[in-house]
Amino acid sequence: MSRREKKKKASGLVRQLTGRTLRFLIIGAGFPYHKSPHLYQWVWVFILLPFLEEDTLSELSGKYGGDLRKLYRILTRHPEAFEKLLRMLAMPLFFGLLDDFGLLGETEQSRRRIRIIFDDTKAEKSGKYMEFIHKLFDNAKDRYIMGYNYVLMLAVSGDTVIPPAFVLWLPAGHPDHRSKNDIACDEIIRLRKACDRRGCDLGEVELTFDSAYHVQKVMNAANAAGFRVISKADGKYKFKFEGELLTPSEIIEKVAERQWKYLEKKHDYQRIRAHHHVYGEVLLVVRRRQLKNKKIIYDVLICNKFFYTAPRIHKCYKRRWKIETYFKYYKQYLSLGKSQFQKIGSVRSHLSCVAMAGIIVALFRRRFPRKISFLRAVKLLRRELWDI
């Protein structure tokens, strides 16, 4: 396939799935399109690269012309434009999910409840001249690695999964350093403002994250936005329970000898109400689980809505695992973690491109006449672009 045919095929696919031309999206995102229109029309390469037969930009430039190497400058210089382009694609889809959810009956709403999930992942790197590469502890590998840490915000409704934000966490030595909790807080506030401008309500949306994000600033932002928050309680925070200020571990110790209720096989629970001095009355679910080695472990889940039952909170928190699945998909099929960019700007732009590729897959799966897997959707998109 020639260079012009490849560009036409890709532009047609973007317009078919998003309903807007690539030129409109590029100009709206803030790229300096007027300086080099022919060059910026190739921005689609970064988004659709996981679906092409070429694996890298170097292979593409060798096949379709060396001037494509100039595209590296776009990655380095315009990370904010890539992030805005991601929001331009993701926000209309999220609002569409909210509108569709409001038209459903109560039974169907319980199956297609919209959930926002926050989590982070690490990617090991081995480059010598990569900016601000730093030492991280990887729990999966149980050792320290040199690499980058990424924070993902995922919107899930049924089989539709959209990544509205994918952000690079930078270490304290970087001038743009923000903690992962600050990143989550900023994304919650940005989403709330976008919904306020459109007149949408987030009161039916669940927000789920693990104990690392259970801090006061994130909880306050989530409560202000109206989310139904379900999280694992951080062990250092104290709650007022039966006249005492207790940490989650002290609450577990206090209720351990009381009557437990059945949750599921080898899972029991106790549902209690407590008070936090910053975000007020909360619902705590103390879980007792028996592992395969017969060891008993305890943890505490927290929810800000009192009409939630303990089994419902337990099931909602288990669905947080969806984000781990999509980390795996993005790493295996969308080239997350395989890049060797040297500049921080390029890494940030690449993350936005991975998220936009994930949106393309989500749109393709949603419009396909039958249910298909993530891998099958990627293969069909590759076939579409290769014109096989």
- pLDDT for 101-130, tens place per residue? 888 888 888 888 999 999 999 888 876 677
Residue from 143, 177, 182, 141 nearest 165 by CA = 182
- Label residue 2 by pLDDT band (50, 70, 90): low
Calpha distance 204→77 (Å, rounded): 39
Report DSSP state, residue 370: S
| Level-2 CATH architecture, domain 233-308 | Roll (3.10)
69 vs 227, more confident: 227
- In the chain, pLDDT over 90 holds for what percent of residues? 48
pLDDT band at 387 (very low <50, low <70, confident <90, very high): low
10 or 317: which leads in pLDDT: 317
CA distances from 46 to 145, 190, 329, 344, 346 (A): 27, 25, 18, 16, 11
**Does the pLDDT value for residue 60 go beyond 80?**
no
- Residue 265 confidence (pLDDT) above 70: yes
Backbone phi and psi for residue 250, each to the nearest 5 degrees, phi listed first = -70, -35
φ, ψ dihedrals at 228, nearest 5°: -90, 105
pLDDT of residue 229 exceeding 90: yes
Distance CA 84, CA 231 (A): 29
114 vs 343, higher pLDDT: 114
Cα–Cα distance, 186 to 153 (Å, whole number): 11
Tokens 């993350």 locate to: 351
Does the pLDDT value for residue 228 go beyond 70? yes
Mean pLDDT value across the chain: 87
Residue for token pair 């494509």:
68
Q: Is the pLDDT of residue 170 over 80?
A: yes
pLDDT of 74 > 90? The answer is no
pLDDT at 356 over 50: yes
Residue 130 three-state SS = coil
> Whole-angstrom Cα distance, residue 286 to residue 341?
45
**In this predicted structure, what is the pLDDT of residue 3?**
66
If we measure between CA atoms, which residue out of 288, 280, 287 comes closest to residue 306? 280
C-alpha span between 18 and 359 (Å, rounded)? 9
Ranges of each domain in the chain: 3-232+309-386, 233-308
- The tokens for 138 are 């990887």
Q: Which two tokens stand for residue 15?
A: 């317009």
Q: Which amino acid is at 167?
A: V
Residue 102 contacts residue 96 (beta carbons within 8 Å): no
The predicted pLDDT at position 388 comes to: 40
What percent of the chain shows pLDDT beyond 70?
Answer: 96
pLDDT at residue 158, rounded to an integer: 86
